[in-house]
Chains A and B, each alone.
Chain A
Amino acid sequence: MSLVTHLPGAGVRKRGRRPTAVGGVGPLGLGVAMLWLSLIVLLPLAAVTTRAFDNGLIGFWDAINAPAARSALILTTVISVIVALINVVAGTLIAWVLVRDEFPGKRFFNALIDLPFALPTIVASIVLLTLYGPRSPINLELNATRPALIIALLFVTLPFVVRSVQPVLIEVDREAEQAAASLGASNRTIFRRIVLPALGPALLGGAGLAFARAIGEFGSIVLIGGGIPYETEVASQYILKQIEVDRPVNAAAVSVALLAISFIVLLILRTAAARSRRHETGS
């Protein structure tokens, strides 16, 4: 789905000197669009950012360094990294099977991948509770444990890596693989030297999206996670709790810290993806 594969074409059209393009919306339309984006997205985020520093830099630092806040932020980040890594392996495997393998029911499984995008997160939570919660039919009670957090996050982030790797795997040059095989390369070598480098940027992109989603996730965790401070309480749960006890500045500070972590990781992964893409085309 095209959420994952980000649009190319931004610089494709030649730069014409036209003040207002014919089919475009003109300066008025641009103004309307900007006003809309500012009112809906930018102003609220600006409000949360300024509120985070209401008590100055030291106040901000104290808020995110409070024991429960720090523990929630670290737990969220570590678990999101684990989830992103599992997704890289499982997502590549699933994409591989869906592209290279043929079996009955393949279309069904392919459609199933998007289910976590379509399913409300709170339903994901309930769905996982039926299997891993009280009355678990497989006798595996995981609610309010860290493994439960990981399972819930794996559920909601499943599509990202699969959907970014799949199109690349379809396009990958199979002749290079055949040539390598005829030269005596083992499957392992072919995968490591030919397939994996081609998948690199897509994998990093997908992992980044999965990480960003995991780090901010709330709905799928809220029922199965338990929200036990220092144990299973993730950052978004901590933020909500601070709002409920009427400490908006603390909530804002942890929000800003969470956004910062997410953006830094996305930036690093995007840079790495660009570098590996350059490496791919350069070699």
Chain B
Amino acid sequence: MVLDRKATLSLRALALGYLIILLLIPLLLIFFRTFEDGVAAFWAQVTTPASIAAIQLSLTIVAIAVPLNVIFGIVTALALARGRFPGRGIVQAIVDLPFAVSPVIVGVSLILLWGTGGWLGGLAGLGIQVIFSLPGMVLATIFVTLPFVVREVEPVLHEIGDEQEQAAATLGASRMQTFWRITLPAIRWGLVYGVVLTVARALGEFGALIVVSGAVSGESQTLTLLVHSRYIDDHNVFGAYAASTVLMAFAIVTLLLMTTLNRRRELE
């Protein structure tokens, strides 16, 4: 299909116009609003005790949820890529399920499972508070980020095949040695990509957390919940912008990493 110059230009204008109006202008505007009173005002909002506590909680959740998803994600990807078992299609569907479930439903289902009266609600009686506390927030984050590592690692495992692994086994390598020396180096870029997506999503999760957190300021408030409560409860619009800008900075770093990793993978 060869378009004349006029058609090409008008299509380009339409597409870029859509992107600029929908994405770019709002983004630039929020940067402008955040820094229009200078960097000091921004910094003051980011370093309030509530804000620091929120950043710490967000990072704590990431530090627990991401390693768990990496370990179990690799195991699941290996089982799916290398194993032969009945019901493999069903397992594939379960892995994709979190993409199709609303974050709010994730939160509600966790409350109904772990909360008082739920099937596992008895834990609260043993002094293990899951809902309205850190474990519940971690569970919610693991739920919504579960697919990423599996979905990035599994295709790579298919692609590399298992010839090298078999060769290593023939030469007497143990299963662990084979994994550390052969499999892990081969999947590393896919894994890193999956981790980047997991971290980004974990830092940005909101819907599931607002349901399970109870959102007590400074205690169970993540950065995203802080944005919400500053805007809605405190009417601190500027503070909400400032916290959003911090999250946006993380998102842009994520985007840069994604682009670099994609290029790197294309090169290999």
Given contacts A23-B182, A97-B11, A119-B204, contact A191 B227 (CB under 8 A): no
Q: Flag whether B112 is at the interface (Cβ < 8 A).
A: yes
**Which of B1, B102, B113 is the one whose CB lies under 8 Å from A47?**
B113
Report whether B166 and A22 are in contact in the complex, using a CB–CB cutoff of 8 Å: yes
Distance in angstroms between the alpha carbons of A212 and B228 in the assembled complex: 24
**Distance to closest chain B CB from A147 (angstroms):** 13
Report whether A93 and B15 are in contact in the complex, using a CB–CB cutoff of 8 Å: yes
Given contacts A10-B92, A243-B211, contact A219 B206 (CB under 8 A): yes
Chain B residues positioned under 8 Å from A25 (CB to CB) = 75, 78-79, 82-83
Residues of B within 8 A of A (CB-CB), count: 105
Distance in angstroms between the alpha carbons of A93 and B211 in the assembled complex: 38
Q: Flag whether A139 is at the interface (Cβ < 8 A).
A: no
Report whether B97 and A41 are in contact in the complex, using a CB–CB cutoff of 8 Å: yes
Q: Mark B216-243, 1 if CB is under 8 A from A, else 0.
A: 0000000010011001100000001100
Q: Flag whether A58 is at the interface (Cβ < 8 A).
A: no
**Distance to closest chain A CB from B62 (angstroms):** 13
Q: Which of B39-47, B48-56, B150-158 lies at the binding interface?
A: B150-158
Report whether B109 and A47 are in contact in the complex, using a CB–CB cutoff of 8 Å: yes
Which residues 68-92 of B have a CB within 8 angstroms of A? 72, 75-76, 78-85, 88, 91-92
Q: How large is the interface on A (under 10, 10 to 19, 20 to 34, 35 or more residues)?
A: 35 or more
**Distance to closest chain B CB from A271 (angstroms):** 15
Q: Flag whether B57 is at the interface (Cβ < 8 A).
A: no
Q: Mark A170-191, 1 if CB is under 8 A from B, else 0.
A: 0000100100010000010011
**Distance to closest chain A CB from B121 (angstroms):** 10
Distance in angstroms between the alpha carbons of A123 and B224 in the assembled complex: 8
**Distance to closest chain A CB from B61 (angstroms):** 13
Q: Which of A26-34, A63-71, A275-283 lies at the binding interface?
A: A26-34
Report whether B78 and A127 are in contact in the complex, using a CB–CB cutoff of 8 Å: no
Report whether B99 and A187 are in contact in the complex, using a CB–CB cutoff of 8 Å: no
Distance in angstroms between the alpha carbons of A117 and B252 in the assembled complex: 11
Report whether B119 and A123 are in contact in the complex, using a CB–CB cutoff of 8 Å: no
Report whether A130 and B30 are in contact in the complex, using a CB–CB cutoff of 8 Å: yes
Report whether A115 and B15 are in contact in the complex, using a CB–CB cutoff of 8 Å: no
Chain B residues positioned under 8 Å from A114 (CB to CB) = 255, 258-259
Report whether B259 and A111 are in contact in the complex, using a CB–CB cutoff of 8 Å: yes
Q: Flag whether B135 is at the interface (Cβ < 8 A).
A: no
**Distance to closest chain B CB from A200 (angstroms):** 17
Q: Closest chain B residue to A12 by CB distance?
A: B158
Given contacts A94-B18, A120-B206, A252-B112, contact A187 B29 (CB under 8 A): no
Report whether B182 and A223 are in contact in the complex, using a CB–CB cutoff of 8 Å: no
Given contacts A37-B76, A45-B97, A219-B206, contact A21 B118 (CB under 8 A): no
Which residues 84-129 of B have a CB within 8 angstroms of A? 84-85, 88, 91-92, 94-95, 97-113, 118-120
Q: Flag whether B248 is at the interface (Cβ < 8 A).
A: yes
**Which of A43, A48, A154, A217 is the one whose CB lies under 8 Å from B108?**
A48
Given contacts A2-B151, A266-B100, contact A103 B12 (CB under 8 A): yes
Which residues 1-23 of A have a CB within 8 angstroms of B? 1-3, 7, 9-10, 12-13, 15-16, 18, 20-23
**Which of A121, A123, A128, A215 is the one whose CB lies under 8 Å from B248?**
A123
Distance in angstroms between the alpha carbons of A24 and B83 in the assembled complex: 6
**Which of B29, B104, B146, B205 is the one whose CB lies under 8 Å from A41?**
B146
**Distance to closest chain B CB from A182 (angstroms):** 11
Distance in angstroms between the alpha carbons of A250 and B174 in the assembled complex: 53
Q: Flag whether B188 is at the interface (Cβ < 8 A).
A: no
Q: Flag whether A131 is at the interface (Cβ < 8 A).
A: yes
Report whether A115 and B255 are in contact in the complex, using a CB–CB cutoff of 8 Å: yes
Report whether B11 and A48 are in contact in the complex, using a CB–CB cutoff of 8 Å: no
Given contacts A128-B26, A195-B1, contact A219 B103 (CB under 8 A): yes
Q: Flag whether B64 is at the interface (Cβ < 8 A).
A: no
| 5 further contact pairs, Cβ within 8 A, besides A25-B83, A122-B247 | A23-B165, A97-B12, A113-B19, A222-B206, A239-B108
- Pairs across A and B, CB under 8 Å, 10 listed: A7-B155, A21-B84, A37-B94, A94-B15, A117-B197, A119-B248, A120-B227, A121-B207, A155-B22, A248-B108
- Interface, chain B (partner A; CB < 8 A): 1-3, 7-8, 11-12, 14-16, 18-19, 22-27, 29-30, 33, 72, 75-76, 78-85, 88, 91-92, 94-95, 97-113, 118-120, 139, 142-143, 146-148, 151-152, 154-155, 158-159, 161-162, 165-166, 169, 175, 178-179, 182-183, 197, 200, 203-207, 210-211, 224, 227-228, 231-232, 240-241, 244, 247-248, 251-252, 254-255, 258-259, 262
